[in-house]
Amino acid sequence: MDLPTEEEVVQLQEYYRFPNHLLNHVRTVRKVVLFLAKELNKKGENYNLELLNAAAELHDIAKPLTFSRRKPGEAEKFGWDPIPEESFDFWKEEKNKFPTDYSHTDMGAEILKDYPELAEVVGNHAIKNILYSDLSKEAILLNYADKIAMRKVVTLEQRFAYLKERYGIREVEKKYFDKYKDIEREIFNKLDFPAEELAEKIEKENQIKNQTENDQ
């Protein structure tokens, strides 16, 4: 499987001018999806960790192309950092390279088309995609992780409340929420702890990792 190197991942993030709030999000997604994949692999699953690592870092590669200028104080309401005006002009130019009906997931898949497996995961992390029947297991896990990872790990209930406020009720129909809850049950039925303890488990792992690094 061909995947971008860590250096190439960083270059792509820099090229598309990931703002800090987006970097925080993708890195939280990375922590969540890799933690879950590793725990599930211990139970006999076979998730591709390298694929999930790259997908987490790049799943929102085209998200900035959908950003629009906000009124003063409006962006901060959603936890955004201030964005330089020239970035909006750059994103608009980049977006014009794609068909007008492309979503950020469509554009992301197109950008990463030289990496077919990665493009499949990136192109299917939107809410609507969770109902598709032909998704890879990595795409499903990444999609789920994306929904419970903001700047920190949240519950599905918290994330959908945010999405409702941010994008409107049309994006958060009950059928999607119910599907995510089904996936969540499938995941944690295989693990030794409930979904409610996930954030605590990840934080504990990070503390141990940081302590080990400090001791070296």
Angstrom distance (rounded) from CA 95 to CA 99: 8
Question: Hey, CA dihedral for 16, 155, 42, 214, is it positive or negative?
Answer: positive
Closest C-alpha among 94, 91, 74, 92 to residue 82: 74
Q: What is the SS3 assignment for 153?
A: strand
Per-residue pLDDT tens for 87-106? Answer: 999 999 999 999 999 999 99
pLDDT for res 164: 80
pTM of the predicted structure, to 2 decimals: 0.90
Q: Is 113 exposed, middle or buried (0-12, 13-18, 19+ CB in 10 A)?
A: exposed
Indicate the range of 125-129, 140-144, 163-167, 176-180 predicted with least confidence. Answer: 163-167
Domains recognised in the chain with CATH numbers: 6-215 (1.10.3210)
Q: Please, what is the angle between helix 137-148 and helix 49-58, to 10°?
A: 40
Per-residue pLDDT tens for 110-123? Answer: 999 999 999 999 99
